[in-house]
Structure 1
């Protein structure tokens, strides 16, 4: 016991010095943790004001928190005398080794960052991406979750999404429906055109501006093809599409206008027996 007391008395200055350093390091650590949380909340609020998707805002805020907290740890270690330069070098070498082993994951992470920065879509948009179609549900660090029309969940790697064309059907408020309707060559084209227009005029979902277009498109082998191109709100696209197909068929039938279909004539030749 006397030996310990003597050692403490002899090294009291050193103990006080390192004690103060450790206390300051703990203060830096605790204060830095709060600052990291504050920066993360501030980032999320800034994204909310810009009406950025919540999934994206959460993703960015988590990255901000990780960076600030990592800087806090380095400052705390530096305060107690640990050489952070060599520590950072070790972390860098370890990061390089891990990065080479996880190239695919890092590519997905980088693509996730690009999705956030470029914002080709947001949660709730209907998209074609990476060869798949569906509603965007979540944008995560390494992948994006899509929900198909028949309620299947597709987990799509972010790198696959960013390496291909992205078609966003929900970005614009309106969409154009493109239909090709064929009538027989014996039909009165003016009457057929009037029937098609009457179907469009009766549907309240068809927008007046931009105006729809009904015109002869092709004089095909067995039919005269009309293009029918009405504009609707994006949310009404598929219900209107299906209803128009049904109503056009009914209206043409009521007007005795035929819609040609593929036919094959078979001819039998009788050979004389010799």
Structure 2
């Protein structure tokens, strides 16, 4: 008798659960699919028509997509009466919420940092940035990370909080990028000739701009060499292969320096001193006799 009663109870609960689950799935489908495949594309077209840049448009569409998902799940939970289940397990839900809150502290920080990055008009997709000894072109800004394409053809994901907490340099001005390279030359060389070669090799490269003109400055007097800094301008890195320009320029300068007899010294140390035998009586024919 009691087995039959228990079976009836579980059958009723299972039927109610399956009914609620089916209603949940149907509600999510009816709300999410039109939002994802109809409203979201229309919103994208509207933003494109308004001329919105990618830095704002892409994160906005991601947030809008997430809002559609949350809206669908919330309404499905209400329609299928899953809220009563959550209420019955509110202690468990509260504990899980606290645990998730601690675990998502960094995620929330990166999300807030991403908002600051998006609204900053000087920080845009396609910009070349330098930070913490790294550099590259911004390809995407998401909730958690900013993806940067380096000049070594690597795609790195940088936490948004790292970019907002550290100094970020944007060397691009008016769609042009200034490249700077240092070369060490010997103290006996003709500085004017070395500077002329550095300027000429920069201006001879087809991707280097004629204006502003390349310049060379004496940077410092080092221990073994005089440091010369060459500066020249190229097109925006999104349209220019900076790695190829860098390689070609350094190689051409080295070849011209070799042809002109201009030395590029490397640091070295010269050790001086003498050896003295303190007990010459112990040495006999180059051998030491042990007692």
Pairwise CA RMSD: 4.6
CA positional deviation for 1:199: 1.8
> Which residue pairs with 1:203 in the alignment?
205
Q: 1:64 to 1:241 in 2, by over 3 A?
A: same
Q: 1:270 to 1:69 in 2, by over 3 A?
A: closer
Q: 1:100 to 1:243 in 2, by over 3 A?
A: closer
Q: Secondary structure at the match of 1:115?
A: helix
Structure 1 residue runs without a partner (length 5+): 1-29, 78-86
Q: How does 1:240-251 map to 2 (within 5 A)?
A: 240-251=245-256
> Which residue pairs with 1:183 in the alignment?
185
Q: Secondary structure at the match of 1:217?
A: strand
- TM-score, scaled relative to structure 1: 0.63
> Which residue pairs with 1:223 in the alignment?
225
- TM-score, scaled relative to structure 2: 0.60
CA positional deviation for 1:251: 0.7
> Which residue pairs with 1:47 in the alignment?
47
Q: 1:225 to 1:112 in 2, by over 3 A?
A: closer
Partner deviation per Cα, 1:89-145 (whole Å, 9 max, x = no partner): x9xx979766566433333333333333336232x5554568865554543333444
2: CA distance, partners of 1:131 / 1:193 = 27
1:121 to 86, 110, 124: 124
Q: 1:164 to 1:212 in 2, by over 3 A?
A: same
Aligned residue pair count: 239
Establish whether residue 61 from structure 1 lines up as the match of residue 64 from structure 2: yes
Establish whether residue 265 from structure 1 lines up as the match of residue 270 from structure 2: yes
Q: 1:116 to 1:267 in 2, by over 3 A?
A: closer
